[in-house]
Structure 1
């Protein structure tokens, strides 16, 4: 049995349908220039009726499993991070497991909103290190447009849909650093997905101040517990919430060399999918090399956060 865990494969899936800023401006009091200046988004992808959370998760997971070189019967855990699943049971993880033809995996859905993937990755790592799993599929998938209030320009301009998936395997050394996670319960209502039908809303200024003032020091601590200096990072993948948040966050980290993921520009805020999708694209485009340390840091609803340094697959 391995002593640690590593990411063996990383992939993503996005719907084909694009929603541009100019298209949004036909129904909202906004413009391409205003959206770019305010949040740094150029366009986002919108799921079709058939591209449900479980189907997007399955698409990403299928690619990840193929890239890992494993067979379906070798996967013994599936975790799906999502906050937009409509159905309660069978959960998204069970639907993915069935779609892949898995034999008898543990199947868990994890709802920590935009910090979901990094929480799920840590959960898989812990299970592997405890000997309860050997090979896990960790997926972040959200149809964030399904909870959008399309009359509210402050939030409607943000949302997009997609999925990202990683295969996490037992290893003779731990290539996933200790997670630093937690929340700010007193501020939990700053991000909300509530009501029937559920709608996304937030106190944007509260979230911005929290993300740019409280979280950078926590991200630095994630580097410290992994034994990696911030300036030795090959890449930084933050939750893709807002370009201004990303830029301010990175500036406070004092980073000078790392590649910074900015998938927000063409994907929007995809909630739990944002970290794995952005990381997958960096790897796919060879912007970060195998073995380089990468800071993953999710944050958002509850107000929750989770960060860890991983070695690039």
Structure 2
């Protein structure tokens, strides 16, 4: 028998405030048509004043536990992917651990920007395969609205806030691609490209800073690297795009999503798309889309799902799992 990290529950949370594209017309030179045509985004959610990343992540974690029919005390570990932690330390994960009423187990954050959830899910898989944990809450949570330069129309219209969570647990499998659970992973990074996507603040500067992006360069790298990492992850288990039931990509830009699907030779009716409603929620976008995809009735048990993402670093990767 082979141990597999199987999805037991999934959930998400979005802040109450919905921000349509039209709202940006009041503060910068832009339009609903301009934003839609370049990104596919129609609206996004912004956290309320005083509402933190850990608040969003806690709500998503509770939803995933409810979906799984489990109690917080059934969880051995919590991993949170985020670039917008409440504080420099302690971790968002330990704050969510406290919010769930847990004093046991362990919790920590992973920071790989928009690729963070793929990195966190890969780490959780490794913990389960190593016998370090039986059940792990893997959460992506962000309040990216707090990193925006509201004078930069090329970036401030693209991002939103939210959280998504998966509860994964160790289950026995036969060791074949028919098993439920995580079947393969692929992680990559290249620090030479730091300057095309970064935040110009941090501990060394004494300010939070704002997100800065060279959009054309990020687009070029995204299309190439996302298709490549997804292909690599599938190839590791002898599969290809034709075997995939659903691609659940990082929801950054509809043009990137479409171009990546085309390279993988997967039609768009097999791609879960939520970018129009959420914008780019960074590390939260994949678990958000997985949760919404399940709610819509798209993703069903036994489906082969590929998730892939790229973010600042550059960091990118993919996970292949059977739902």
Aligned residues: CA RMSD: 1.4
**Contact 1:144–1:270 (8 Å) recurs in 2:** yes
Aligned pairs (5 A) from 1:122-133 = 122-133=122-133
**Contact 2:19–2:44 (8 Å) recurs in 1:** yes
In structure 1, the partner of 2:176 is: none
Give the drift of 1:88. 2.6
Unaligned runs of 5+ in 1: none
In structure 1, the partner of 2:24 is: 24
In structure 2, the partner of 1:6 is: 6
**Contact 1:5–1:125 (8 Å) recurs in 2:** yes
**Contact 1:234–1:258 (8 Å) recurs in 2:** no
In structure 2, the partner of 1:205 is: 216
4+ residue runs over 4 A deviation: none
* Cα distance in 1 between the residues matched to 2:44 and 2:313: 24
* Cα distance in 2 between the residues matched to 1:45 and 1:101: 27
Aligned pairs (5 A) from 1:54-133 = 54-133=54-133
* Cα distance in 1 between the residues matched to 2:7 and 2:187: 19
In structure 1, the partner of 2:287 is: 276
**Contact 1:44–1:268 (8 Å) recurs in 2:** yes
Matched position secondary structure for 1:84: coil
Give the drift of 1:259. 1.8
**Contact 2:261–2:268 (8 Å) recurs in 1:** no
Aligned pairs (5 A) from 1:201-240 = 201-240=212-251
* Cα distance in 2 between the residues matched to 1:214 and 1:144: 23
Matched position secondary structure for 1:25: helix
**Contact 1:238–1:246 (8 Å) recurs in 2:** yes
2:192 aligned residue (181, 186, 189): 186
Query: What whole-Å deviation, never above 9, does each CA across 1:54-107 have from its counterpart, x for those lacking one?
Result: 000000001111221222222110000000113133311111011111231211
Give the drift of 1:2. 6.8
**Contact 2:247–2:306 (8 Å) recurs in 1:** yes
In structure 1, the partner of 2:47 is: 47
**Aligned pairs, how many?**
312
**TM-score scaled by length of structure 2:** 0.93
In structure 2, the partner of 1:259 is: 270
Structure 1 residues 102 and 226, CA gap change in structure 2 (3 angstroms): farther
Give the drift of 1:110. 0.6
Give the drift of 1:13. 0.4
* Cα distance in 2 between the residues matched to 1:258 and 1:224: 22
* Cα distance in 1 between the residues matched to 2:38 and 2:148: 18
Matched position secondary structure for 2:313: helix
* Cα distance in 2 between the residues matched to 1:123 and 1:210: 24
Matched position secondary structure for 1:178: strand
Query: What whole-Å deviation, never above 9, does each CA across 1:100-122 have from its counterpart, x for those lacking one?
Result: 11231211101100001111011
